[in-house]
Amino acid sequence: MRQHEITRARPLLDSRGNIAEPGYAKRLLPVYRRADVKAPAYRIKEWDYYLVNNGRYALALTVADNGYMGMDSISFLDFENHWQQTLSPMCAFPMGRRKLPESSQTGDVAVSGKGYELAFRHTSEGRLLLFKMENFASGRPIEGRVLLTGGAGGEHGHLHALPQARAFLLQPEDKLPARLRLGQRARPAPRI
């Protein structure tokens, strides 16, 4: 079966709430509007998800409002050592109250709960992903920041860590020496 590439911006949903143009897009072209969804609030599923991956390591961050269930998630994957850790605190019935923006090109997302915080913010330099979770892996915390640069639909850069701050920073390759910290355990930082 041949795949269809979406090449122009247009509404994601038609007037009946169905997908207007099935296919895939290499950039953020389909325009989502919550008002176009023809379903009760408990069936609407919205999320903001980011995956930073270099083939050896990956960091996944998620904030979800799935109507009946909210979820905030941090995952760290080490492909070389066949190790991963994911923690996903959940809440009941957010029903759209998280007010996720209709597009990652506008609006900010910020959530927090017992022992964790996630925020996805727009800055003049790009999309800044902030994350912190106590007791992430065997009682050790994870905390960091990733800056996605390159413009809408073309975010790119290199992942570097700031060891003294236990932080991640995605930026051009000519910057900081790279180390990645998870609690007290240091690992070589992934290059994206």
Query: At 118, which helix (H) or strand (E)?
Result: strand 116-123
pLDDT digits (tens, 9 = 90+) for 135-172: 998 889 999 999 988 744 444 444 433 333 333 333 33
Tokens (6 digits) for 176: 């900081």
Element housing 80 (H / E): none
* Residue labelled with tokens 């099935």: 22
Pairing of strands 158-162, 167-171: antiparallel
Distance spanning both ends of the chain, measured CA to CA = 32
Structure tokens at 46: 């919205």
pLDDT tens, position by position, 32-62 = 999 999 999 889 999 999 999 888 889 999 9
Q: How many residues does this entry show for the chain?
A: 192
Q: What is the mean pLDDT of residues 69-74?
A: 96
Distance of CA 51 to the CA centre of its chain: 6
Q: How high does pLDDT run on average in the chain? A: 80
Among residues 133, 132, 140, 108, the alpha carbon closest in space to that of 121 is found at 108
Q: Are 120 and 60 in contact (CB under 8 A)?
A: no
Per-residue confidence at 2, pLDDT binned at 50, 70, 90?
confident
Question: pLDDT-based confidence at 66, cuts 50/70/90?
Answer: very high
